[in-house]
């Protein structure tokens, strides 16, 4: 299980579910977390600080707890 990858997938699903501009939203998230979430895959190390930071930014940008 890769918690970071799973969280990115939940962010992407929320963006798609709402019909938001994926490029804009993912770009805003990337600027705030300091890395491109589109480059996260199953092999990307799931560092606890990155997971927590993405969780906080996703809540800030999307307004939901993921």
Confidence of residue 1 (pLDDT cuts 50, 70, 90): confident
Note the pLDDT tens digit of each residue in 31-59: 999 999 999 999 999 999 999 999 999 99
Spans of all domains in the chain: 3-62
The pTM of the full predicted model, rounded to 2 decimals, is 0.90
The pLDDT value given to residue 24: 96
Note the pLDDT tens digit of each residue in 2-19: 999 999 999 999 999 999
Query: Helix count (H) and strand count (E) of the chain?
Result: 3, 0
Q: 19 φ, ψ to 5°? A: 70, 30
């Amino acid at each position: 299980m890769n918690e970071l990858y799973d969280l990115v997938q939940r962010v992407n699903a929320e963006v798609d579910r709402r019909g938001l501009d994926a490029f804009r939203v993912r770009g805003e998230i990337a600027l705030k977390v300091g890395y491109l979430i589109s480059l996260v895959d199953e092999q990307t190390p799931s560092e606890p600080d990155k997971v927590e930071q993405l969780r906080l930014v996703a809540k800030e940008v999307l307004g939901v707890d993921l």
